[in-house]
Structure 1
Amino acid sequence: MPDIHDPSESSLGHGHTHGAASFNRAFIIGTTLNVAFVIIEVFYGWHAGSLALLADAGHNLSDVAGLLLAWGAQAAGRREPDARYTYGWQRASILAAFTNAVLLLVAMGSLMWEAAHRLHSPVPVEGMTVIVVAAIGVVINGLSAALFMVGRDDDINIRGAFVHMAADALVSLGVVFAGMLYLWQGWAWVDPVTSLAVALVIIAGTWGLLRQSLRLLFDGVPERIDLAAVAASLRSQPGVTEVHDLHVWAMSTTGYALTAHLVMPAGHPGDSALEAIAAVLRRDFSITHSTLQIELASHDHGCHTI
């Protein structure tokens, strides 16, 4: 239950449920599959002389790190608050989402750099080996992405893991395409060109994750929250004539917090009325932690009034 504070009365303490759904099994399976596939790709990529396979292996390795990071952040977010960390370590999931986005962009930048060099000096590859190994990658990465599909819309940390796996599947599919064209026409340049094209697609898809996580790191209003709608909802509550100092931010990738001053000239409405307001915030905006201060008249607190 949200904390509701009133300067004229003692604060009301309530328990909170901040934990997101556990994806431990998904992380275990996804990490194991990708570690095994990295080993396979490195071996056959070197044997076949395929930059696309070797680059994909490097990208998969960064994804293993990304999965471990997201997994660790989810575990850290479940740590109970204490006197030093009063919110616990919930923000770890935001940091993980941001780092995952950066890792993916760096990996794609490296891939594009190597592909550009290979364009100047194309080399022959073993097309069939490339096709078979990359096809295995499509299956493994597709299955890994499916493990995180359920939580990708509600948690950008899980979305980061999903984007990594889905990107891997796309890269592997591009490698299959390059291998088939090489067998058909003998075009050695197809391998680096395909790598460049896939990298650009993934960079475009990752930009949203980077932007969202950066916004949350700076305590910006989460994209899923319409601040004007929150203010309107608070003003519509019985006895509320004005809303001041309204702030909404993310404590984690799944938990939102709010503080606001409510002008109520008739006086304190009672604990049950404030609990009802908190319930509305949870139901309509997924705000799980609310702190509401009651004022009898409007005051200038130096903050923008919504």
Structure 2
Amino acid sequence: MGANHNHSISSSTKEKPLIWALILTFSFMLVEVIGGVVTGSLALISDAAHMVTDVTALAIALFAIKISKRPADLMRTFGYHRFEILAAAFNTILLFFVAIYIIYEAFQRAFSPPEIHSVGMFVIAGIGLIVNFVSMRLLAADKNKSLNIKGAYLEVWSDMISSVSVIIASLIIYATGWAWVDSVIAVFIGLWILPRAWVLFKQSINVLLEGVPDGIDLNQLKEKAYKVKGILDIHELHVWAITSDKISLTAHIVIDSQYDHESVFEELREILLSDFHISHTTFQYERERCLDADDACSFRAH
């Protein structure tokens, strides 16, 4: 029986785009809060509330990245990478509460809409659109490498939709005087947040439960693994993610005695890395097929 380990986990999370996005978002959030109070626009205030979650999300993501860089120790042998996933889960819960509050407040104000200064509402939302666009461009390069970055990117992207919605509402109110449109747009923003928050929350929970990462089909993985010459059987196969861009795999692999297990493992590692982006692998080498049909089986090994 033998084992092979590959611990080449690479980190590509970048802090600078997050820092700049945080500065831009926080600065404009203050402007939007003041503008919402002055103009009396709930849509503007709801967008500002959404930006509060953006600021919180970016700040927590940045903090989590700092923590995740701490080296592994005797208590946490995988290091502190899971902080990023915990941050993503926390941010989605925050989003849920904000969205529900926005919808509730919109219904309350729908029956007695206050006077709204549509011109100021238009100007502030227009500035917000520019800020969101710049922040989105800053985060775009790394959005598929981390749930934190992805969450922040989606936050900013939805803020762009919110800003566009507020601009449309201000134009309608200016042209018609229909103040109730402000509440309708606020509800739209709230309903826009909820499904996105749910998707990100499910992804975070899947990582915390050590589920198979999104984009990896275990049947396809096994099919490609069995094409490696010398592999007779694979069992006790587990695939999970420590954090969004650090996928791990362990497996017991039965290898034909005519083949060198080191060569077989090397070929298998190349397939896992190139086709599934799995860089952290641990293989247990065996010479006898598994006695039972399921993965939790007993075996005889030489």
Question: TM-score, normalised on structure 1?
Answer: 0.90
Matched, 1:198 2:189: yes
CA contact (8 A) 2:107 2:183 kept: yes
Q: Any stretches of 5+ residues in structure 2 without a counterpart?
A: 298-302
**SS of alignment partner, residue 245 of structure 1:** strand
In structure 1, the partner of 2:13 is: 21
Percent of paired sites with the same residue: 32
Q: How does 1:61-210 map to 2 (within 5 A)?
A: 61-210=52-201
CA contact (8 A) 2:12 2:145 kept: no
Correspondent of 1:281 among 269, 272, 275: 272
Query: Which region of structure 1 is more displaced relative to structure 2, 269-278 or 245-254?
Result: 269-278
Cα distance in 2 between the residues matched to 1:70 and 1:268: 47
Cα distance in 1 between the residues matched to 2:287 and 2:236: 15
**SS of alignment partner, residue 211 of structure 1:** helix
CA contact (8 A) 2:26 2:55 kept: yes
Shift in Å at residue 294 of structure 1? Answer: 1.6
CA contact (8 A) 2:7 2:281 kept: no
Distance 1:122 1:36, change over 3 A: same
Shift in Å at residue 97 of structure 1? Answer: 2.1
Shift in Å at residue 12 of structure 1? Answer: 4.9
Distance 1:80 1:301, change over 3 A: farther
Cα distance in 1 between the residues matched to 2:231 and 2:261: 13
Cα distance in 2 between the residues matched to 1:14 and 1:232: 21
In structure 2, the partner of 1:241 is: 232
Cα distance in 2 between the residues matched to 1:63 and 1:270: 50
Deviations 1:79-116 (A, max 9, x none): 22222111111112222222222222222111111111
Counterpart amino acid of residue 218 in structure 1? L
Cα distance in 2 between the residues matched to 1:287 and 1:83: 25
In structure 2, the partner of 1:5 is: none
Cα distance in 2 between the residues matched to 1:196 and 1:287: 42
In structure 2, the partner of 1:32 is: 23
Shift in Å at residue 137 of structure 1? Answer: 0.7
Length, aligned pairs only: 296
Query: Which region of structure 1 is more displaced relative to structure 2, 262-271 or 84-93?
Result: 262-271
Distance 1:16 1:79, change over 3 A: farther
Q: How does 1:202-281 map to 2 (within 5 A)?
A: 202-266=193-257, 269-281=260-272
In structure 1, the partner of 2:282 is: 291
Query: Which region of structure 1 is more displaced relative to structure 2, 162-171 or 186-195?
Result: 162-171
Cα distance in 2 between the residues matched to 1:247 and 1:205: 29
Counterpart amino acid of residue 122 in structure 1? P
In structure 1, the partner of 2:300 is: none
In structure 2, the partner of 1:4 is: none
Shift in Å at residue 257 of structure 1? Answer: 0.4
Q: What is the RMSD of the two structures over their aligned residues, measured on CA atoms?
A: 1.9
Q: Any stretches of 5+ residues in structure 1 without a counterpart?
A: 1-7
Shift in Å at residue 211 of structure 1? Answer: 1.8
**SS of alignment partner, residue 201 of structure 1:** helix
Distance 1:221 1:65, change over 3 A: same
CA contact (8 A) 1:19 1:78 kept: no
Shift in Å at residue 15 of structure 1? Answer: 4.6
Distance 1:101 1:189, change over 3 A: same
CA contact (8 A) 1:115 1:195 kept: yes
Matched, 1:52 2:50: no
Cα distance in 2 between the residues matched to 1:181 and 1:245: 61
Cα distance in 2 between the residues matched to 1:195 and 1:142: 20
CA contact (8 A) 1:234 1:277 kept: yes
In structure 2, the partner of 1:303 is: 295
